[in-house]
Structure 1
Amino acid sequence: MRVSVAGAGLGGLCLAQGLRQAGIEAEVYERDPAITARFQGYRLVLNPAGFAALQGCLPPRWHPLLDAIVGDAYGERLVLDPRLNKIGELGPGRTGTVVDRHVLRHLLLTGLTVHTGAALTGYDVLDDGRVEARFADRDPAVADLLVGADGIGSRVRATLSPRTTPIDTGVRFVIGRTPLTEQFAGLSRAFGSKIAGDGVSLLLGAMRFRTPPKQAAEELAPEVTLPDVRDYVRWAMILPPAGSAGPSPQEAVLSKMDGWHPDLRALVEQSDPDNSTLLSIRVVEPGERWAPGPVTLLGDAIHATSPTGGNGANTALRDADLLRRCLADGRQDLLGAVGDYERQMFEYGAEAVRHSLDALPAFVPQRESV
């Protein structure tokens, strides 16, 4: 069996690693001109199911390395004012494992065949049941299965399920990262909490590695090369719909922080401007089912969630692990395996989107009345 994976995000790479362990040939096609063309290095929290799915797709010899390069999720889940005084609570905290997306992506890339500059334009199902993926600037690729792991703007989904389209929630946010120095270690009470300002909300999360990733790879898995990333604070400011204007995302955030605690302002001021990005919160809800065939979808391509749900990466990793198990099972043919995967994925994927939307209002800022 040969599988083409469109998209070199976490879900697509995790699937390719899992198929590789199962002896199934998999090649990844990524539209970006290079793996490092875009910065993709923000902190994620994996729940126990997501972490187990990731482990299931990785070779066991890398499990000690994975354990070394993660951290522990913690936080009081408070609501604080801009001077860091407690004014409420968000509810029970989430347990899990903290990972850095940039580091994890480099681990998942190890040993895979990844074609960059491969912008998929469409596909055709051939008479023999195989599928031919077409690209803008390279020859087509023929495989037994095409997996669209190509994100919220999926070209695969546009053909497979054209009525399933992204929904814009209208919420915007700026995300960035700042080295975790002694000054910002004092903000630990705010990690995992919401800081509620006038019309904005600021969310902080600490990424503390158990072992620096580059060092861990050199000691535990020399065949793996990981970036030299150090502990940092991931911050995200949720803005009102009309509040995103500004010369730069970083300056737009600072313009909303007059009178805030000086350490909070310093956190944004000392962040890397190149890694501060304005994003919109869009979701994709799984809708119509298509007949099982040699094309399927994974991750944000079929069930993009709001980041406030904390389940986007977890659900994509769960997809990858489930699909690799269905394909490697051997007790059913390809279409049966794909159909079994899709039946389960549609159910929990739709629930993940609903959960993320239910969680969104608690983080959307409310402007104080004047």
Structure 2
Amino acid sequence: MDTGGREPADATRSTGPSAVRADRTGEGKPPVAQRLAAWGRDALPGLAVVAVCTGLAMLIGRFTPTVSPLLIAIVLGAVIANVVPLPQRIEPGLTFSAKRLLRVGVALLGLQLVVGDIFDLGWGVIGLIVAVVGLGIVFGMWAGKLLGLTWTQRLLIACGFSICGAAAVAAADGVVDAEEEETITAIALVVIFGTLMILAIPLLTDLTGITDEQGGLWAGASIHEVAQVVAAGGAIGGGALAVAVVVKLGRVLMLAPVLTAIGLMRRRADRARAAAGDAGSGAGDDVTGDAPAAVKRPPLVPLFVVMFIVFVAISSTGILPDPVLSVGKTVETALLTAAMFALGTGVRVATMKKVGPKPFVLALVQTVFVAALSLGGVLILT
């Protein structure tokens, strides 16, 4: 991902006479502790800002339980970035938060999932979850191509709207390395349209006359963020909240196989482009974007996806006591909130104007498609 200058410079690197002498004497790079200290000096200002704003977002979230700290952090970051000029010295810390902390947070998200709870829904609902995620992504990629959007832009929107919102967008970006403005746009769209769904699903549940349980299934299968599902399920009432959350977590569980499949596609396309000797254009551009064939191949399965699966397996065994799971959830929320604040600082009005209306059109049709598909599946199953 093009981080727009957020990559911290290696403050310890030198090409002068002292570096040459170090190489000749076998000293090589400076000691690890020295390099870490240099990185810390670069990243500390930004990390301090992120920490303060993360704490503020989580504090606000405590008093507004229907609103996720992640969404609060995104909005807070966007407001600050558009009102106050951000100094360059905080960029390294923002970059670290948007990339590294995000991936650790996504991995820890696995502790919230228990495979047994998903199987308890029954094979019909499991089939609905797989259909919503699979067909939602296929439809989003197809509709985005008709609109002329890049492969990475439509993939991020399709994953975010079909799986689990901003976390899915950022996780997919960790596999395909999209442009920064594409990632920021997709996350902003998740916030906008997911918030509208909080209002729309409960209202449509009443208007259509379906039961609260059906409304909960619909909310869990169609709304983007977990927190947005909680808000909508609570608004529907009755037993809607519990079933909505479990269905939504079933969609979150699809994150691992989807990212693995994307990684496989990326590697296969890179191999094909390298074999053809075409580093700048050709059919592979539709899969890999503008990445040159000479770049290092992405891992078959990113480490944070592996850890996500490991944490799901650990959680499913039931060996972890509730206090440990509670701490894990708090840490995961804090890390994702920090990452969302960092990403939110990139949501600039100028950037949103620059991308034009096409991503908004895709977000709209993707939302309608997933909602219609989910409702049809719910009515068939119940």
Q: Do the structures match in fold with TM over 0.5? A: no
Higher relative contact order (CA 8 A, sep 6+): 2
More strand by share: 1
TM-score by length of 1: 0.27
